[in-house]
Chains A and B, each alone.
Chain A
């Protein structure tokens, strides 16, 4: 028989134990197997692909990465598992879930509710695109990069700049480069407090900007480049963004 593969993600051990007990109670009605457990979103993303999860039970309030951000990163996967959120008390999130018909359970969880949610997930219910972003518009703490079939997380605070090239955006950190499939304009909106636009194709992290220096002037470029902390690269500032960059460095 084909067992439904379930993963549990919660930062509190007793809460994970409780969900395991309740799943056990549902086993007869809905055969399933517990394919993995994790204590936060970051650990969860590391195990999710290998576990071949079909359903994830995920707590919302967790350190390091919230349940909502975790679910957003899942959407990068080719076949993302169904997500059932679990929360002790988050009126705001619960209202948003109701409005968007996202499945959630409140702690303490009841076996009947869990069973209903699992059945729905087993029938292929998936999150609609953009729903999670509207539920929690707070900026993510990580970028998720699908590389060679596995997921790599890049901490947003480690990123020095984001540069658009053709279909992708290059994420540059001190140690390397990654490609993500997102739009620079949306990134600019989501992380408006973290990055500043210096060019049509480039956002730079405010905290890594050390200053500006004179460079080659051209029709579209102002003749100034941004100097970065820890990188020898210089990034050209466009005429349109020069006033904003100048205000930032002076």
Chain B
């Protein structure tokens, strides 16, 4: 069981600055309120009145809580999961209590019993949302271990490994120095693939992984492969999911360069615009070779991991234009978490 548990994501508070997380909180709290209103009303006419009544007291609390969580997210992230949860609960209860006098101005009785009632529901609501995020976390956890497996099985294609070993063998007698360098690159590449790749890494590290990979491909493809890099110097420290670019570059070689006899160009462009990171990759598109497998798996895998790390704030799009296959990724620019 130990090994299975290691693959689970540790429980952590969601990122309260993430648009997806914020909207999930707003939507689910309001859904709870609607459900609650429905349960409390005996007929349909009463339902509308109940909704208005609950919304009147709920929405101000919800908004203030979300704003406070947004502002305090960096502090909250430093706490352990349970402490963080208690801190969030404390915030919710404090806001509920603080806003209580205003609600009595709006014509409610304002008795202590009424306050206890509000605090109880606030605590219940917070618990429900925390449970929801816990389940969501758990649901994605197998996806991550699956993704790790795929990193071993599919992302570095066996095709690549055997072809590279073959190319290295061809060097050993004539150019032992180059063969050494190639084996070192290969070792490093596999070391990266085999480590726990759940934490974000710097883009600089991911780029050097890509370069090692491309060095090896250059060995066997020679002048058929050329890569044009256009990198914003300000992006080296950006945090990205590991193995974000390498599988895409590998795809570009497999689908874009290998099927062509003429030299082909892979373009990698990365830039930062305000607090967004834009990655753009393009390679020649060979219509006749679309039966070669594996592309969609890698793309789906990366899309899933982007969603896992950044929820709705990251996107991955592909298109075919002017005989080239293009991938665009947009994600938040972060340098620390």
- Interface residues of A, Cβ cutoff 8 Å to B: 11-15, 17-18, 21, 39-40, 61, 63-64, 88-90, 106-109, 138, 141
Contact residues in A for B173 (Cβ distance below 8 Å):
21
The answer to whether B158 touches A12 (Cβ under 8 A) is: no
- Please tell me if the beta carbons of B157 and A63 are within 8 angstroms of each other in the complex: no
Nearest Cβ in chain A — how far from B322, in angstroms?
A: 20
B258: Cβ under 8 A from any A Cβ: yes
In the assembly, what is the distance between CA of A214 and CA of B173, in Å? 71
Contact between B162 and A14, CB atoms less than 8 A apart: no
* Cβ distance A52 to chain B, nearest Cβ, rounded Å: 25
Contact of B170 among A15, A40, A61, A90 (CB under 8 A): A15
Q: Of A15, A39, A40, A61, which contacts B166 at CB under 8 A?
A: A15
Report the separation of the CA atoms of residues A108 and B260 in the bound assembly, to the nearest whole angstrom: 23
* Docked CA distance A13–B219 (Å): 9
Task: Evaluate whether A89 and B260 lie within 8 angstroms (CB atoms) in the complex, with A12-B167, A12-B221, A14-B167 already known.
Answer: no
Which residues on the B side are within 8 Å of A14 (C-beta)? Answer: 166-167, 170-171, 219-220
A88 touches B170 (CB 8 A): no
Identify 6 new A-B residue pairs, CB closer than 8 A, beyond the known A13-B222, A14-B219.
Answer: A12-B221, A14-B170, A18-B166, A39-B261, A107-B163, A141-B288
Known contacts A39-B261, A89-B159, A108-B162; is A15 also within 8 Å of B288 by CB? no
- CB atoms of A108 and B165 under 8 A apart: yes
Distance between A20 CB and nearest chain B CB, rounded to angstroms: 9
CB of A12 within 8 A of CB of B162, answer no
Residue of A39, A88, A138, A141 touching B162 (CB-CB under 8 A): A88
Main secondary structure of the interface of A (DSSP, over half): loop
B260 and A63 contacting across the interface, CB-CB below 8 Å:
yes
- B191 on interface, CB distance cutoff 8 Å: no
A106 to B260, CA, bound (A): 23
State in angstroms the CA–CA spacing of A64 and B288 once bound together.
9
A40 CB contacts on chain B under 8 angstroms: 261
Given contacts A21-B173, A89-B162, A108-B165, contact A15 B220 (CB under 8 A): yes
Closest Cβ neighbor of A43 among chain B residues: B261
When distances are taken between beta carbons in the complex, the residues of chain A under 8 Å from B291 are 138
Interface 0/1 of B272-303, CB less than 8 Å to A: 00000000000000001001000000000000
> How close is A171's CB to chain B, nearest CB, in angstroms?
19
CA distance A39 to B263 in the complex (A): 13
Q: Are A15 and B167 CB-contacts (below 8 A) given A39-B261, A63-B258, A63-B259?
A: yes
Among A14, A21, A141, the one with the most B-chain Cβ atoms within 10 Å of its Cβ is: A14
**Residues of the B chain whose Cβ atoms lie less than 8 Å from the Cβ of A109:** 166
Q: Are A89 and B169 in contact (CB-based, < 8 A)? A: no
Residues of chain B within 8 A (CB-CB) of A88 are 158-159, 162-163, 166
Tell me what chain B mostly uses at the interface: helix, strand, loop, or mixed.
Answer: helix
CB nearest neighbor in B for A18: B170
Contact yes or no, B157 A89, CB < 8 A: yes
Separation of A246 and B72 alpha carbons in the complex (Å): 69
Distance (whole angstroms) from the CB of B178 to the closest CB of chain A: 10
A11 to B264, CA, bound (A): 14
Within 8 A of A (CB), among B212-247: 219-222
**Chain B residues near A107 (CB-CB < 8 A):** 162-163, 165-166
With most chain B CB atoms within 10 A of its CB, the pick from A18, A39, A64, A88 is: A88
Interchain Cβ contacts under 8 Å between A and B, 11 examples = A11-B261, A12-B163, A13-B222, A17-B174, A18-B167, A21-B173, A88-B163, A89-B161, A107-B163, A108-B165, A108-B169
Return chain A residues, CB-CB under 8 Å to B167: 12, 14-15, 18
* Contact assessment for B261 and A64 in the assembled complex, using a CB-CB cutoff below 8 Å: yes
Chain B neighbourhood of A15, CB < 8 A: 163, 166-167, 170, 220
Which residues in B have their C-beta under 8 angstroms from that of A11?
258, 261
Give CA–CA (A107, B259) in the complex, Å: 19
Expressed in whole angstroms, the Cα–Cα distance for A39 and B261 within the complex equals: 9
B68 to chain A minimum Cβ distance, whole angstroms, is: 55
**How far is B168's CA from A17's CA once the two chains are assembled, in angstroms?**
11
* Chain A residues within 8 Å of B163, by CB: 12, 15, 88-89, 107
B144-164 CB mask vs A (1 if < 8 Å, else 0) is 000000000000011101110
Question: What is the CA–CA distance of A250 and B186 in the complex, to the nearest angstrom?
Answer: 56
Q: With A and B bound together, what is the CA distance between A13 and B165 in angstroms?
A: 14
CB contact under 8 A between A21 and B159, given known A12-B221, A108-B165? no
CA distance A109 to B169 in the complex (A): 10
A218 to B219, CA, bound (A): 65
What is the CA–CA distance of A90 and B260 in the complex, to the nearest angstrom?
19
Nearest first, the 3 A-B pairs at minimum CB distance are A18-B170, A14-B170, A14-B167
- In the bound complex, what is the Cα–Cα distance between A210 and B288 (angstroms)? 23
Chain B residues with CB below 8 A from A61, complex form: 159, 258
Do the beta carbons of B222 and A18 come within 8 Å of each other?
no
Residues of B within 8 A of A90 (CB): 159
User: Given the complex, which residues of A lie within 8 Å of B221, measured CB to CB?
Assistant: 12
A141, B222: Cα distance in complex, Å? 26
